[in-house]
């Protein structure tokens, strides 16, 4: 879309990118700029934003506390779904974007703005996440993405642009980390981290202590869940945001939740991110332990499949889609009985579930123990026969699944009376062709 703009609502963070976008919008489009900041748990980063935005040229500044919405409507549903991207990333940034973009759209519509803008780079995932939300909620709004329009090509040039206009930014050309912090995590990218062979500097981390310098004594925390959602911390009932905040402080002190990941970006390239998710890491461990009591095998297996798809949807900015809503419905049904408590032990960077209990537990100590009470061993014969039937039929038709030795060379023989006679193997190793003979024969038999 091209042409003039009257008014634009900018998703404003006060970082390098959005700090220079304010004057750029004024200079390029000569439009009214409304800077909107969403409080999703950035903490001190919000301090002084209003003065900074207005000083940068914004006509208006708005800020809204969305921490409870973030935890209740985005973090906890993703937690219940088991959404983890590429084994490690708990999606802290990806989960915040649809919430911020939704509120940005609502404000734009309420104030009569005809455009929305963001500071995401043209190489990153966040541009997709913001703009997928815009399209899902208000496709009539014009989207301005400066990193796809202006001539600035690097963060060094962005710093120079800011310096020319006297705009203070929390980045210098000597320390070019790109950070995103919220209630769930803190991410670090760029600068020295762009070399995956270089370890993160010790002073990089902001939410977690170094595991090696964490307290020597373990610390146990108990998380209470109701239908798969965290509700209590050590017996205290807390709101979602307060629970995450409190757990972040405890787990961070023990060095919990650090991840150094080279991930596959949605837009095609690999990138390296270092993430700190202290409270979230503990909650994932606690919920998985509780699910081991309350979920049957088939539901647990299907939840694993749904978890991968859910994580991909979140990562790709497809929060406001029918599939994500449908997966939430499945997760809500699957975890309807996942109520109870898990105790997690925190110690030098590790969070380990050490106990779990639930009034809906499917665990039966009598059945799960070694005693045969309440169980008929003979019943296993039918199960084994039916489960193993395909293997037995194949072996009868084509021979054993692998070649079998028909000698006892090299075996230690113990005879009655305790006399031990050892035989040393003199046979040469079988050639690889012999090891493959049976599979080839079986395949040939199958072709007949």
259 domain residue, yes or no: yes
Cα 218 to chain centroid distance, Å, stands at 25
User: How far apart, in Å, are the Cα atoms of 139 and each of 32, 100, 102, 134, 207?
Assistant: 20, 16, 12, 6, 37
Domain boundary among the residues 315, 332, 366 is at 366
Query: Quick one: pLDDT at residue 175?
Result: 60
Q: Tell me the pLDDT band of 197, cut-offs 50, 70 and 90.
A: very high
Query: Quick one: pLDDT at residue 425?
Result: 52
Domain match, 332 and 239 both = yes
Q: Tell me the pLDDT band of 169, cut-offs 50, 70 and 90.
A: confident
80 domain residue, yes or no: no
Please determine, for residue 101, whether its predicted confidence score (pLDDT) is greater than 50. yes
Domain match, 48 and 154 both = yes
The per-residue pLDDT of the chain, averaged, comes to 91
Please determine, for residue 437, whether its predicted confidence score (pLDDT) is greater than 50. no
pLDDT in tens, 56-85: 999 999 999 999 999 999 999 999 999 999
Identify whether the C-beta of residue 242 lies closer than 8 Å to the C-beta of residue 88. Answer: no
Q: Are strands 340-347 and 219-226 parallel, antiparallel or unpaired?
A: antiparallel
Beta bridge partners of 297: none
User: Which value, to the nearest 10 degrees, does the dihedral of the CA atoms of residues 77, 80, 86, 90 take?
Assistant: 60
Beta bridge partners of 350: 347
Please determine, for residue 440, whether its predicted confidence score (pLDDT) is greater than 50. no
Domain match, 169 and 186 both = no
Per DSSP, the residues of 118-132 read: ----TTSSHHHHHHH
Domain match, 14 and 160 both = yes
Residues 6+ apart with CB under 8 A from 101: 11, 116, 118, 129, 130, 133, 134, 137
Per DSSP, the residues of 216-261 read: SS-EEEEEEEETTEEEEETTEE--HHHHHHHHHHHHHHTT--EEEE
Domain boundary among the residues 329, 347, 366 is at 366
Q: Which residues are catalytic?
A: 17, 97, 126, 178
Domain match, 51 and 196 both = no
Give the count of alpha carbons within 13 A of 284, CB side only.
Answer: 24
Domain match, 234 and 339 both = yes
Query: Quick one: pLDDT at residue 393?
Result: 96
pLDDT in tens, 373-425: 778 888 889 999 999 999 999 999 999 999 999 888 888 878 777 666 655 55
Q: Tell me the pLDDT band of 171, cut-offs 50, 70 and 90.
A: low
Please determine, for residue 265, whether its predicted confidence score (pLDDT) is greater than 80. yes
pLDDT in tens, 18-68: 999 999 999 999 999 999 999 999 998 899 999 999 999 999 999 999 999
In the predicted model, what is the mean pLDDT of residues 131-154?
Answer: 96
Domain boundary among the residues 366, 381, 403 is at 366
User: How far apart, in Å, are the Cα atoms of 99 and each of 5, 332, 405?
Assistant: 25, 21, 64
Per DSSP, the residues of 277-305 read: -HHHHHHHHHHHHHHHHHS-HHHHHHHHH
Lowest mean pLDDT among 92-96, 139-143, 435-439: 435-439
Query: Quick one: pLDDT at residue 448?
Result: 36
Lowest mean pLDDT among 70-79, 160-169, 287-296, 388-397: 160-169
d(CA 5, CA 144): 10
d(CA 1, CA 374): 71
Q: Which residue range forms the structural domain that includes residue 102?
A: 7-67+91-173
Considering only residues 175 and 411, tell me which one the structure prediction assigns the higher pLDDT: 411
Query: Quick one: pLDDT at residue 363?
Result: 95
Segments of 107-159 assigned E as strands: 115-117, 142-144
Identify whether the C-beta of residue 40 lies closer than 8 Å to the C-beta of residue 104. Answer: no
Cα dihedral across residues 389, 393, 399, 401: positive or negative: negative
Q: pTM here? A: 0.89
Query: Quick one: pLDDT at residue 439?
Result: 46
- CATH of residue 157's domain is 3.40.50.620
Tally of structural domains, the chain: 2
Domain match, 286 and 205 both = yes
In the predicted model, what is the mean pLDDT of residues 345-349?
Answer: 98
Domain match, 113 and 209 both = no
């Amino acid at each position: 879309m091209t042409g003039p703009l009257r008014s634009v609502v900018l998703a404003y963070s006060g970082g390098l990118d959005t700090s220079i976008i304010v004057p750029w919008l004024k200079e390029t489009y000569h439009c009214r700029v409304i800077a909107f900041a969403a409080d999703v748990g950035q903490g001190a980063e919000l301090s002084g934003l209003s003065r900074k935005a207005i000083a940068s040229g914004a006509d208006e500044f708005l800020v809204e506390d969305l921490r409870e919405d973030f935890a209740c409507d985005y973090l906890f549903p993703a937690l219940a779904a088991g959404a983890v991207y590429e084994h490690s990333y708990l999606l802290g940034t990806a989960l915040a974007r649809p919430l911020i973009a939704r509120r940005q759209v609502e404000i734009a519509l309420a104030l009569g703005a005809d455009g929305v803008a963001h500071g995401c780079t043209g190489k990153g995932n966040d541009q997709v996440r913001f703009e997928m939300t815009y399209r899902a909620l208000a496709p009539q709004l014009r989207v301005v993405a400066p990193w796809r329009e202006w001539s600035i090509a690097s963060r060094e040039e962005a710093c120079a642009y800011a310096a020319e206009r006297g705009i203070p930014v929390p980045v210098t050309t000597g320390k070019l980390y790109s950070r995103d912090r919220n209630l769930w995590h803190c991410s670090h990218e760029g600068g020295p981290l762009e070399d995956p062979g270089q370890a993160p500097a010790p002073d990089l981390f902001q939410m977690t202590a170094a595991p090696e310098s964490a307290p020597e004594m373990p610390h146990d925390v108990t998380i209470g869940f109701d239908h798969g959602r965290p509700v209590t911390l050590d017996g205290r009932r807390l709101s979602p945001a307060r629970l995450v905040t409190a757990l972040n402080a405890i787990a961070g002190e023990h060095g919990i939740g650090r991840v150094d990941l080279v991930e596959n970006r949605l837009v095609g390239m690999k990138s390296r991110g270092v993430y700190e998710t202290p409270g979230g890491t503990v909650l994932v461990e606690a919920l998985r332990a509780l699910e081991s009591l309350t979920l049957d095998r088939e539901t647990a297996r299907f939840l694993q499949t749904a978890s991968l798809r859910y994580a991909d949807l979140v990562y790709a900015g497809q929060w406001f889609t029918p599939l994500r809503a449908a997966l939430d419905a499945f997760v809500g049904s699957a975890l309807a009985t996942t109520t109870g408590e898990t105790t997690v032990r925190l110690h030098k960077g590790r969070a380990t579930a050490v106990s779990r209990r639930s009034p809906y537990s499917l665990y039966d100590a009598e059945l799960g123990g070694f005693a045969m009470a309440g169980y008929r061993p003979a019943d296993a014969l039918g199960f084994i026969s039916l489960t193993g039937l395909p293997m037995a039929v194949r072996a009868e038709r084509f021979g054993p699944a692998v070649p079998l030795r028909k000698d006892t060379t090299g075996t230690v023989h113990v005879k009655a009376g305790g006399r031990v006679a050892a035989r040393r193997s003199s046979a040469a190793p079988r050639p690889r062709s012999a090891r493959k003979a049976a599979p080839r024969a079986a395949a040939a038999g199958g072709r007949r």
